[in-house]
């Protein structure tokens, strides 16, 4: 039975093996809510409304 302790540390050259073992661990743990989307890019500057000011 797969578990997270069986998943090797991710390195650049072992992604395929790592992904298979991660998927197996989640299936065995009956986790079906894992997000499979890339993380959004964080803005370089804070986004502020025209009405925002520095006064708290």
Mean pLDDT, range 7-11, rounded to an integer: 90
Cα 36 from Cα 47, distance rounded (Å): 26
pLDDT in tens, 22-38: 888 888 887 766 667 77
Cα 11 from Cα 36, distance rounded (Å): 19
Task: Report pLDDT for 13.
Answer: 92
* Entry pTM: 0.50
What are the structural domain ranges in the chain? 1-33
Average pLDDT, the chain: 78
């Amino acid at each position: 039975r797969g578990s997270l302790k069986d998943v090797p540390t991710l390195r650049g050259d072992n992604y395929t093996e790592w992904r298979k073992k991660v998927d197996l661990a989640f299936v065995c743990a009956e986790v079906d809510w894992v997000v499979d989307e890339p993380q959004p890019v964080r803005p370089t500057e804070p986004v502020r409304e025209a009405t925002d000011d520095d006064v708290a």
